[in-house]
Amino acid sequence: MDVIKVEGGHEITGEVTVEGAKNSALKLMAATIMAPGVTTLKNVPNIADVHVMGKVLKRLGATIDVLDKHTLVIDTSNVDKWETPYELVAQMRASTAVLGPLISRFGKAVVAMPGGCNIGARKIDMHILGLEELGVQFDVKHGNIHATTPNGITGNTVTLAFASVGATENLMMASVHAKGTTIIDNAAREPEIVDLANMLNEMGAKVKGAGSPVIEIEGVGELHPVTHTVVGDRIEAGTFLAIGGLCGKPVTVNGFDPIHLGLVLKKFEKMGLAVQREAHGCTVWREGPILPTDIQTLPFPGFPTDMQAQTMCLLALAKGSCVITENVFENRFMFASELQRMGADITIEGHHAIVHGVPGFSGTQVKSPDLRGGAALVMAGLVADGVTTVSAIHHIERGYEGFVSKLVSLGAKAERDTVPDDEDAIRD
């Protein structure tokens, strides 16, 4: 069993550069299906989820060459299948991002129900309901979603019940070749949506309004391959900036746009952290105590659910009490029970976490419950008394490239290790 071991108490300071955004790269890879030919994606993170999406594309008939570890050359000329295998989709919910591109190119698709982090129901009802408004017919059976377009795809106005990122992306991609114009109302506004729209427009699509609640897509003919650079990962950046705030000394993060962390950085400042914004990076440090600050997660430009665990780690050491409200994923508080093993004082009431600050953490064995929670447990270990051993680190490696090596470059005493695969032993 692979684990990350962290010894607390070492000075953490310095600079790191983040990779391309996981949540953008996966959708851009899927979008290459829509433009037969050779598309080059730069600044792609070398992480487990990208490897899974690569396998999905290869199963569909694409070929992928890795020029360097961050540049993918994807040839979708010979994509001739429209069914994604369960064993791959079950590993990662973002695999459903191929639904829109397959419908767009072939007018049909078979996609297994999604997997990924165990942080919520992950219903894709909104994807299906929205696509039905465009003329797509669905039959869900034996764990697979079967999509067909008997009369083609027709532009329409689709109003989302929730500003779902995945539903917005699938609707954008499926409607690129629609007859007429599609309007997505209450669309997700995340920077990754804008990145996808930019690449689609570079390919020849006509997408307007990405980054606002209303996106308009005018149907066009064929798309052409392009070369595109993935936007910097704001969540990876936020994680390292939170580490700067937790440990105190300045941590500078390069390779992203601080505007993409607007509310996070404002909340950090309310918590007593010093924040210095630059054009393509940011520095965070702290001189006084962490101040209790209420947080509630919401779709962008609200506070991202993907930064909730890291922020809870900070607030667990605050001088006072506060409330964190999770409005996006119902199971996102599984991280709290692991942090409690390290001495945190957290009470869960429904989708609220009441956090009472404690003087410090105690190193122990903990288990990564999901991607961001796992990273936050390693983060807690940086300031804990003694050694913290985090297991189930496959979650972390789904979204962070070289996490341990970057921590070491900042001064951490951390290592990736392999121990006997005994579920009970890690708890003893």
pLDDT score at 119: 38
37 and 71, same structural domain? yes
| Residue pLDDT, tens place only, 57-73 | 999 999 999 998 899 99
Same-domain check for residues 203 and 219? yes
Other beta carbons within 10 Å of 5: 19
Among candidates 107, 109, 221, 130, which has minimal Cα distance to 182? Answer: 130
Closest of 168, 174, 144, 139 to residue 83, by C-alpha: 144
Q: What is the pLDDT of residue 427?
A: 45
Place 329 in a pLDDT band, splitting at 50, 70 and 90.
confident
Average of per-residue pLDDT across 357-362? 98
**Greatest alpha-carbon span in the chain:** 64
Backbone φ and ψ for 423, nearest 5 degrees, come out as -55, -35
- Indicate the SS3 state at residue 373: helix
Q: How confident is the model at residue 88 (pLDDT cuts 50, 70, 90)?
A: confident
Indicate if the pLDDT at residue 332 is higher than 90.
Answer: no
3-state percent helix, strand, coil for the chain, nearest multiple of 5: 35, 30, 40
Q: How far apart are CA 125 and CA 127, in angstroms?
A: 5
**Does residue 425 carry a pLDDT above 50?**
no
Average pLDDT, the chain: 93
Residue 7 to residue 26: CA distance in whole angstroms: 33
Question: Is the predicted pLDDT of residue 196 greater than 60, yes or no?
Answer: yes
Identify the band that residue 114 occupies on the pLDDT scale cut at 50, 70 and 90. low
Which residue out of 117, 247, 282, 313 is catalytically annotated? 117
Q: Flag whether pLDDT at 13 surpasses 80.
A: yes
Give the pLDDT confidence score for residue 120 in this predicted structure: 47
The answer on 316 and 184 residing in a single domain is no
Please give the tally of structural domains in the chain.
Answer: 2
Residues 195 and 276 reside in one and the same domain: no
Looking at the chain, how many residues does it have? Answer: 428
What mean pLDDT is predicted for residues 250-267?
98
67 and 148 belong to one structural domain: yes
229, 262, 277 - which closes a domain: 229
Arithmetic mean of pLDDT, 341-351? 96
Between the alpha carbon of residue 139 and those of residues 112, 145, 340, the distances in Å are 12, 6, 44
Residue that finishes a domain, picked among 229, 251, 280: 229
- Detail the residues annotated as belonging to a binding site: 22-23, 93, 306, 328
> Cβ(233)–Cβ(18) under 8 Å?
yes
Asked if 426 contacts 390 with a C-beta cutoff of 8 angstroms, the reply is: no
pLDDT at 422: 62
- Cα(205)–Cα(29) distance, integer angstroms: 16
**pLDDT exceeds 90 at position 147:** yes
| 282-297 per-position pLDDT tens digit | 999 999 999 999 999 9
365 and 218, same structural domain? no
Tell me what the mean pLDDT of segment 361-369 comes to: 97
State which residues form the domain around 114: 22-229
Greater pLDDT, 114 or 350: 350
**pLDDT score recorded for residue 274:** 98
- Orientation angle between helical segments 334-341 and 371-381, nearest 10 degrees: 20
pLDDT of residue 121: 47
Q: Are residues 392 and 251 in the same domain?
A: yes
Q: Is 247 a catalytic residue?
A: no
Give the model's pLDDT for residue 272.
Answer: 98
Average pLDDT over every residue of 1-8:
97
pLDDT band at 399 (very low <50, low <70, confident <90, very high): very high
In this predicted structure, the answer to whether residue 115 has a pLDDT above a threshold of 90 is no
| Cβ contacts of 384 within 8 Å, gap of 6 or more | 6, 8, 342, 360, 361, 362, 363
Q: What is the pLDDT of residue 20?
A: 98
Q: What pLDDT score was predicted for residue 426? A: 44
200 lies in the same domain as 126: yes
Residues 196 and 256 grouped into a single domain: no
Pairing of strands 365-367, 387-391: parallel
Detail the residues annotated as belonging to a binding site for phosphoenolpyruvate. Answer: 22-23
b/e sequence 164-202, b meaning 16+ C-beta within 10 Å: bbbbbbbbbbbbbbbeeebbbebbbbbbbbbbbbbbbbb
Binding site listing for UDP-N-acetyl-alpha-D-glucosamine: 93, 306, 328
**251 and 109 together in one domain:** no
391 and 305 co-located in one domain: yes
- What CATH number does residue 401 fall under? 3.65.10.10
**Within this chain, do residues 366 and 413 fall inside the same structural domain, yes or no?**
yes
The arithmetic mean of pLDDT across residues 175-190, rounded, is 97
**198-224 mean pLDDT:** 97
Q: For residue 30, what are the CA distances in angstroms to 24, 42, 169, 283?
A: 10, 15, 10, 33
Given this model, what pLDDT does residue 90 score?
A: 74
pLDDT at residue 94, as a whole number: 66
Point out the domain boundary residue: 183, 205, 229. Answer: 229
Confidence of residue 370 (pLDDT cuts 50, 70, 90): very high
What confidence score (pLDDT) does residue 122 get? 47
Q: Summarize the confidence of residues 286-314 as an average pLDDT.
A: 97
